[in-house]
Structure 1
């Protein structure tokens, strides 16, 4: 009975918005402390930052313990990649490796504590999950973009290498120059330089910009937006299922069962 009360109290604390914003505030303070250590500061402030870092680590340990106790199924708690990430960050932060050979690892772990903001805030977690789900589709777009880059770099190295070897000396340098053109970093200087020899070379640049900056960028945005909408639908269905509401799948199954009943009610011809 005491275990059930402890679990209920942990669930109430975990779902409490004030506690959630307290954890978010501590994560922000942790990020600020990481930035402060990159500046030359007095030894007294360094000592203060070390004590604050210990307090932040203990608070993170308390928070992850509360989430673990509040979980209905303790085994499924570590099925979530975010829970594994948070636990590893907290556990490694507890290891006293500041003055050892692994001090660099400890600093890196403390830097990655800022990512806990994503695991705490559902909206950020949804955005990152959408981006990860979009990666397979984005991979094909990147592959197609690489092919366009390669073709245009080969053409540029063939025709423009004698004009400016620093920009078009070979295909790899040509691809870097095209990346500069795609990001509009003084691309007109590159174009006017080749137009002095090939007046129609503007077609080369404008067609490349149209394919990469406009077409491919819109494709990437469309894929991410589409996946984000699907993620919103999944999140809404999961929330409805948790609250006991009928989901879209439930409605489809109900419609199918009604159709079967109607077909059974029809008289045989």
Structure 2
């Protein structure tokens, strides 16, 4: 009996209509959170209060269905997304009014919007790709920091007297270089130093080449490469394995043999 209930819940979870309804509730939850940042009337506040109760209960209902439909309950918590969804739902049950943890409960309700990622597979692939790329990006970030540090030291020594606000010390110089890298009015900084050092444009051009062009392309290349790997893994999961194909072939051969035997008997 329990197995039939589990199969029914699994079929319900896999239906596109149910998935669409969950996504709709998540979007409504995001809009409800945004609406609370405005000055609302008492009627609107009452509506958002009941809406919040409905959303919380629905998420509890949805996570319960996902848990009960799992064939192995231990496997449910092997997924980081399931653990995240469970924590968000459980902490959302904390009463907001007259509670010492009211602020925590409100903050967790904001994170309910992130459940959109766990529901939509394409978004999960994007996030997993970014997480998988972090170790590789660490070396790029370290190399970029070295370049920043060298150029900040040179800029502080050369341009400190020109504008101490931008080049007063190495820390401020690094912030100025970040502004240059993001092209935030960087030409004003360049023309100011070029009045004293006409060849200082070389300093800015080489720094922009290393950071904005070279390193940015390296980051994009790493993320795209990891994303291709994750998509390949997802395709392998959806495709049957060699053993499964062999079992299917055996089943087909067995059915064919049964049909042949029936024909020979007749």
**What TM-score results when the alignment is normalised by the length of structure 1?**
0.89
Q: Deviations over 1:19-58 (max 9, x none)?
A: 0011001001100111111111112111110100000111
RMSD between aligned residues: 1.3
List runs of 5+ in structure 1 lacking aligned partners: 247-269
Q: Distance in 1 between matches of 2:192 and 2:97?
A: 54
Equivalenced residue count is 245
Kept after mapping to 2: 8 A contact 1:98/1:106: no
Q: Describe how 1:49-198 pairs up with structure 2 within 5 A.
A: 49-198=48-197
Q: Distance in 2 between matches of 1:184 and 1:62?
A: 49
Q: Deviations over 1:114-149 (max 9, x none)?
A: 000000000000100000000000011011100000
TM-superposed deviation, 1:244:
6.9
Q: Distance in 2 between matches of 1:170 and 1:43?
A: 54
Kept after mapping to 1: 8 A contact 2:94/2:101: no
Q: Describe how 1:4-83 pairs up with structure 2 within 5 A.
A: 4-83=3-82
TM-superposed deviation, 1:70:
1.0
Cα–Cα, structure 1 residues 6 and 242, in superposed 2: closer, same or farther, change >3 Å? farther
Q: Distance in 2 between matches of 1:244 and 1:229?
A: 25
Partner of 1:257: none
Partner of 1:230: 229
Kept after mapping to 1: 8 A contact 2:159/2:193: yes
TM-superposed deviation, 1:75:
1.1
Cα–Cα, structure 1 residues 30 and 244, in superposed 2: closer, same or farther, change >3 Å? farther
Structure 1, 42-51 or 206-215: larger mean CA deviation: 42-51
Kept after mapping to 1: 8 A contact 2:149/2:174: yes
Q: Distance in 1 between matches of 2:242 and 2:112?
A: 32
**Secondary structure of residue in 2 paired with 1:100:** coil
Q: Distance in 2 between matches of 1:216 and 1:244?
A: 44
Partner of 2:202: 203
TM-superposed deviation, 1:94:
1.3
List runs of 5+ in structure 2 lacking aligned partners: 246-266
TM-superposed deviation, 1:243:
10
Partner of 2:251: none
TM-superposed deviation, 1:109:
0.5
Q: Distance in 2 between matches of 1:79 and 1:121?
A: 18
**Secondary structure of residue in 2 paired with 1:185:** coil
Q: Distance in 1 between matches of 2:213 and 2:18?
A: 44
TM-superposed deviation, 1:152:
0.2
Q: Distance in 2 between matches of 1:43 and 1:156?
A: 57
Q: Distance in 1 between matches of 2:207 and 2:176?
A: 12
